[in-house]
Amino acid sequence: MIDLLHEIFTTLKKNKLRTTLTGLSVSWGIFILIVLLGAGNGLKNGVMDNFSSRAINRINLWSGTTSMPYKGLKTERRLQFTNSEIDLIREEVEESRLITARTNTTQNIFYGDEYGSYQIRGVMPNYFGIEKLIIKQGDGRFINQLDMNTNNKVIVLDKKIADLLFKNESPVGKNVKMGQLIFKVVGVNSKSEEWGGSNAYIPFTTSQLIFNPGKKFNQITFTVDNLTTKEENESFNESIREIMGRRMNFDPNDTQAIWLNNNQADYIETMKIFGGITMLVSIIGILTLIAGIVGVSNIMLVSVKERTREIGIRKAIGAPPSSILKTIILESIIITTIFGYLGLVMGIGLTEIVNFVMEQAASGQAVSDEPQMSVFKNPTVEMGYAFLATLILIISGVLAGYFPARNAVKVQPIEAMRQE
């Protein structure tokens, strides 16, 4: 085996330029395949990060203004939700699970000499799970059902607000002032919004009592289960419009009366798109790799042609066809594997460098505390692809060398030795 490898490498050294140019075509194919897969993963991971920052299976409802007449009622009616719509969803929407209403108002929050103007959200306890807020150990708690039942004047602050008002102090257990009212800080949320400013959260019932005496509001969010296809989600959207239309007196076909965002449906469609992108990227990369393999095969044909006399002599002195076949195929495998791995290392290296740069940029963003949406994240390739690439390289080498080798073993010794 050692003698065989020595013979192969001696042959390759005799044609350094040709071997290098041929191998680089394989390197380029693997490099492009890895880079394209990494880019596809980066885009997918960025979008997935945005989806996973909140409950994927959430439904958002916003009240709007009617644009169609309904049972004698005119258009341009401003609709708003009441607590009865929350009860309606709990009772009649079988797929619903977590649910929260939300009110919004802007108020000045004071602590000692520090103050600022922030959005105050009146929410229910389920808001924490739906929005995937983060309260670290030692940072208190979120709003609970007891706060709701007793209209407690408690407040949860986003970390940025807590840092601005309390500096190096822990805000948990301390009081802040909104207008003439005192609220006790019970928790600090460490999750940053992808867009918009920082928020403070108070019990929904307290918000209605203080800031919304009419007890009407414009947003309901809830999660759903068992909706796994586009068709199921479309049917669900229609049923929600019918249920809400009957209760709030608007035409279910009036899309302006209720604004509905089905995040689950968006997620399913996005995954289909990325499935198509991954397939397209794979096809492009594989076609590029095939072009390199064809190049190797052509070079091996030329190599066999040049060595026809040598092959004839070997056959004449008794070399079995299998040894000639093995030599040429192994030579092809060595070319594709060595240069293929070069492309593999370069491709993975590039994706890792890009990932490192993006992580450093993200760290700088975290320090500045300026949250943004993720568009491109972790553009690396899984190890499974590296193993698959290894298998492809070996198979490619066998295929690239087989046909030239088959031609070589068919050569008759007398005819081969006549060639110059």
3-state secondary structure 49-115: HHHHCCCCCEEEEEECECCCCECCECCCCECCECHHHHHHHHHHCCCEEEEEEEEEEEEEEEECCEE
Neighbours of 213 (CB within 10 A): 8
Q: Are strands 219-224 and 96-111 parallel, antiparallel or unpaired?
A: antiparallel
| Higher-scoring residue by pLDDT: 233, 333 | 233
**Planar angle of CA 201, 205, 208, nearest 5 degrees:** 90
Neighbours of 271 (CB within 10 A): 14
Residue 403, pLDDT > 90, answer: no
**Planar angle of CA 371, 372, 373, nearest 5 degrees:** 140
Backbone angles phi, psi at 82, to 5 degrees: -130, 175
d(Cα 80, Cα 74) in Å, to the nearest integer?
16
**Torsion, CA 205, CA 206, CA 211, CA 213, rounded to 10:** 50
In one-letter notation, the amino acid at residue 108 is N
What are the tens digits of pLDDT across the range 42-55?
877 877 777 778 89
| Higher-scoring residue by pLDDT: 328, 246 | 246
How large is the average pLDDT for residues 99-124? 95
Assign 156 to helix, strand or coil. Answer: strand
pLDDT (0 to 100) of residue 368: 44
| Token pair for 323 | 């040894």
The answer to whether residues 155 and 201 touch, using CB atoms and an 8 Å cutoff, is yes
What are the tens digits of pLDDT across the range 220-241?
999 999 898 989 999 999 999 9
What lies within 8 Å, CB to CB, of 148 at 6+ separation is 124, 125, 203, 204, 205
pLDDT range class, residue 369, cuts 50, 70, 90: very low
pLDDT range class, residue 196, cuts 50, 70, 90: low
Provide the mean pLDDT of the chain.
84
Q: Is the dihedral of CA 318, 324, 327, 331 positive or negative?
A: positive
* Lowest pLDDT segment from 63-72, 164-173, 221-230, 275-284: 275-284
Number of residues assigned to the chain: 420
d(Cα 257, Cα 246) in Å, to the nearest integer?
12
The answer to whether residues 264 and 56 touch, using CB atoms and an 8 Å cutoff, is yes
